[in-house]
Structure 1
Amino acid sequence: MTKIVIVGGGIAGASLAIALKRQSVDAILIEKDLHWTPSSSGIFLYANGLESVRQLGVLDAVLERGWASDGRNVYLTADGGFITETRYPSRDPDHVPPIVGIKRSDLHRALADEVKRLGVDIRLGQTVESFEDQGAGVIVRLSDGSEIACDGLIGADGIRSTIREKLFGKMTPEFTGFGTWRSVHKKPKEIDVKIMMMGVGKRLGIMPISDDQLYIFATTNEPSKPLYNISQMHQVMREKLAEFKGPAAALLDELTSPEGVLYTAVEEMALPLPWSKGRVLVIGDAAHACTPYMGQGGAMALEDSLLLAPRIAASNDLVATFSAFGVLRHERCTFVRKVSRQVGDAGGKELADDVEARNTRLQTQGQADVDSFYARMFAGT
């Protein structure tokens, strides 16, 4: 039986472990976090990502934990004025919602529960100290001093991947000039739709992530890549987003402590081909981390796993399979990354004429842009 070592227990790594086990491939999952618990902000899964979740067999668990939307996305100005409304599509709306909002920890739990149910060998609190591609296989040396002999090693260990660095040398993610702010709140009954508020150099989104919770996600221009005092994060978030009124105002007023407030610099990773060397491959954010504006980072990681697993199972030449996989995925992931960056840049407009032009385009072209993008997403890899 083929044996694959996966490094990283996030969306890419956990979903690959599930997909491999369903293909009768032996998978060992290495995760550095002893408790295997991600940060608890929210995440969107749009219909293309949810189709992947369904293929993995965990859609019911995600729907049980998250909040399914009918696809409406309401755009407002910073003061709460209506701009337009768009709708996200689903190819199978009776079974797969257009969009689900869910806490990252709840999505992780749904994947982790399935990983455990399938009997995947999970090594928590461990890192890969080194690996040696011996041609006929790979020797992986862990931080506890143990060694694993396997047929292939896959780095699914995120934008700062240690496997990528050991494979190709140090590569610094590209800072985009933006920062993201996130916080989780009790959901008012009247908020039952995804809301995007477009400000000047800023944008703020509101999305339910369960029947009783929602989360705020906002982006601000941060060209100097500042570091903020963690103890004052809630105050900085309120001050940065003070111009947002309407449904955002009461939620921002609730930020009275730094607990649950997350700030991250928005970065990208665009690994050029090849994504592999010999029997070692990187996937997910380790290869193609994109900005969050299209909500597609998780979806691309899920797709990676579902496309890679059957190819590994059918392969009699993993070196060729890994090399071909990068070629297969590169164009699509590059397309998503570029579109997401364009959307982020539009949200960061600071000149009055640019802001007006952006809002006008949302009114006249917004739905067509949504339809065009998802037609591409549904068309395949």
Structure 2
Amino acid sequence: MSERSLNILIVGGGIAGCSAAIALSQRGHAVRIVEKQDAWRFQSSGIFVYANGLVSLDELGLLDEILQAGFPVPAGRNAYFDHKGVPITDTFYPSADNGRIPAILGIKRAEMHRVMAQRVDALGVTVTLGTTVDAIRDEGDSVRAVLSDGTEETADLVIGADGVRSAMRALIGIGLEPRYTGFGVWRSVHRRPQALTDKIMMMGPGIRFGIMPISDDMLYTFGTLAEPKSRFYDPAGWPEHMRTKFADFSGPASLFLEELGPDSQVLYTAVEEVGLELPWHRGRVVLIGDAAHASTPFMGQGGAMAMQDAVVLAEALALHETLDGALDAFGKARLPVCQFVQGVSHAVGEAGAKELDGDLEARNADLRKTAQEKVDQFYGRLAELNAEAETALRKGAASG
């Protein structure tokens, strides 16, 4: 298919959708995005991107702009404290490409999307806002999407990049619903003290609070803890709820929790998972990102997995002769990687949720002894799985 330009419709304009639009446009495909929001309004808390995600941004041609917009953590240092602010240990994440690509970068989500949206526009991708897909009709040699504005779009390929609560899953006959994990995440945005340059993780009994620089002058905090299913919090009360829920945290957290007030930027989300088995496509419609494999946030890999989906999908389409062969190879390449990340992230969250006050001394001792080794093992195994996926993708193309 490398010599054929496809007409591609992408449903969803978040990280996964924009990344796919960029990767596929750069390969010469004609791309259109439909996005349900009537204007670009993206949650303005932060996100951290580890080196493996920055590699994907490099392949998308966005790395330099992303580095300028965000904050690379010096030496990839993660400082661990207990919830009272007592230091436990430090770990260091791996960089990539002999240090050219930083180990970890924090960035405001809105800034990441701004950079992506500008590149989407520069590539000539048509973006239609305030629009959803109401129906999908597979016509064999094409697929027809009926849009909410009453128009119809005929495409060679439709990509469902519409997130954890993807409407595209149901439209193509996949009845899988997101699974609530029992966790909630609270996030807030603050001015960054100039001396605060590390990623910080504070470890309480069954509760976590993190701090991450996201620009030269801003940082965001993120707290995770168990929350009852379907618990609703009025957004007007989010700052007070966040301050109350993490009131036992002192040390580095104190300044930012004390700042929380009615005008603070605070966001609450319930954490859901999606674990779709193969195939991730039905006919000429394929799911990527959270629509196929939403994960818990404990390894900070959700955005990275979505961006890598986009890069690998574009490569699969270039390598394979048939669309079905490309989509099949894409899913087989990505599933082991995404399942590994999901599994580790889920295990980390579950282990933390079960901690009691009496466990903390033993936990801290174990962190001092094994934390760096676990970091190295995770990223080592992730690199191995990515290499295996690349080999399989190319081998399958050669044999096909």
Q: TM-score, normalised by structure 2?
A: 0.92
Q: Which residue of 2 aligns with 1:34?
A: 38
Q: Which residue of 2 aligns with 1:232?
A: 237
> Is the Cα contact below 8 Å between 1:182 and 1:216 reproduced in 2?
yes
Is 1:149 aligned with 2:127? Answer: no
SS of aligned partner of 2:265 = coil
- Matching residue of 2:393: none
| 1:290 aligned partner | 295
**Partner residue in 2 for 1:20:** 24
How far apart are the structure 2 equivalents of 1:317 and 1:94? 38
Paired amino acid for 1:201: G
Aligned length, in residue pairs: 381
Q: How does 1:43-192 map to 2 (within 5 A)?
A: 43-69=47-73, 70-92=75-97, 94-192=99-197
Alignment partners' CA distance in 2, 1:138 and 1:2: 12
Residues 230 and 258 in structure 1, CA contact (< 8 A), matched pair in contact too: no
Q: What are the equivalent positions in structure 2 for 1:208-223 lying under 5 Å apart?
A: 208-223=213-228
Distance 1:126 1:201, change over 3 A: same
- In structure 2, how many angstroms separate the alpha carbons of the residues matched to 1:98 and 1:269? 27
Moved more, 86-95 or 234-243: 86-95
Instruction: Report the CA distance shift for 1:224/1:134 in structure 2 as closer, same or farther (over 3 A).
Output: closer
Alpha-carbon shift at residue 45 of structure 1 (Å): 0.4
Name 2:254's counterpart in structure 1.
Answer: 249
Could you list the runs of 4 or more consecutive aligned residues of structure 1 that deviate by over 4 angstroms after TM superposition?
none
| CA RMSD, 1 decimal | 1.4
1:169 is displaced (CA, Å) by 3.9
1:267–1:357 distance in 2 versus 1, CA, 3 Å: farther
Answer yes or no: is 1:364 the counterpart of 2:361: no
Q: Which amino acid aligns with 1:363?
A: R
Please tell me whether the aligned partners of residues 277 and 323 of structure 1 are also in contact (alpha carbons under 8 angstroms).
no
- 1:323 deviates by 2.4
Aligned-pair CA distance for 1:258? 5.6
Task: Please tell me whether the aligned partners of residues 232 and 258 of structure 1 are also in contact (alpha carbons under 8 angstroms).
Answer: no
TM superposition shift of 1:281: 0.7
1:39-67 deviations in whole A, cap 9, x for unaligned? 10000000000011011001111111100
Deviation at 1:93, TM superposition (A): 5.1
Displacement of 1:228? 1.2
Q: Percent identity?
A: 50
Tell me, yes or no, if structure 1 residue 193 matches structure 2 residue 210: no
Contact 2:180 2:229 in 1 (8 A): no
- The alpha carbon displacement at 1:207 in A equals 0.6
Does the CA contact (< 8 Å) of 1:9 and 1:31 recur in 2?
yes
Shift in Å, 1:377? 2.3
Cα distance, 1:274 vs structure 2: 1.5
Is residue 233–residue 258 contact of structure 1 (8 Å, CA) maintained in 2? no
CA–CA separation in structure 1 for the residues paired with 2:105 and 2:259: 24
Amino acid at match of 1:98: A
Structure 1: unaligned runs, 5 residues or longer: none
TM-superposed deviation, 1:103 = 0.3
Partner AA of 2:213 in structure 1: P
Gaps of 5+ in 2: 390-400
Conserved 8 A contact 1:2-1:313:
no
Please, which moves more after superposition, 315-324 or 214-223?
315-324
Deviation at 1:99, TM superposition (A): 0.3
Q: Residues 194 and 168 (structure 1 numbering): CA distance in 2 closer, same or farther, change over 3 Å?
A: same
> Take 1:315 and 1:150, find their aligned partners in 2: how far apart are those partners?
19
Does the 8 A contact of 1:238 with 1:252 survive in 2?
yes
Whether the 8 Å contact between 1:72 and 1:87 is mirrored in structure 2 is: yes
- CA distance in 1: counterparts of 2:330 and 2:375, whole angstroms: 28
CA distance in 1 between counterparts of 2:70 and 2:47 reads 10
- Matches of 2:12 and 2:320, distance apart in 1: 23
- TM-score between the two structures when normalised by the length of structure 1: 0.97
Q: Residue 279 of structure 2: SS of its match in structure 1?
A: coil
* 1:211 Cα deviation after fit: 0.6
Instruction: State the secondary structure of the residue aligned to 2:210.
Output: strand
The aligned residue for residue 333 of structure 1 is: 338
Report the AA paired with residue 38 of structure 2. L
Query: Which string of whole-angstrom CA distances, capped at 9 and with x for unpartnered residues, describes residues 190-209 of structure 1?
Result: 21111000001110000100
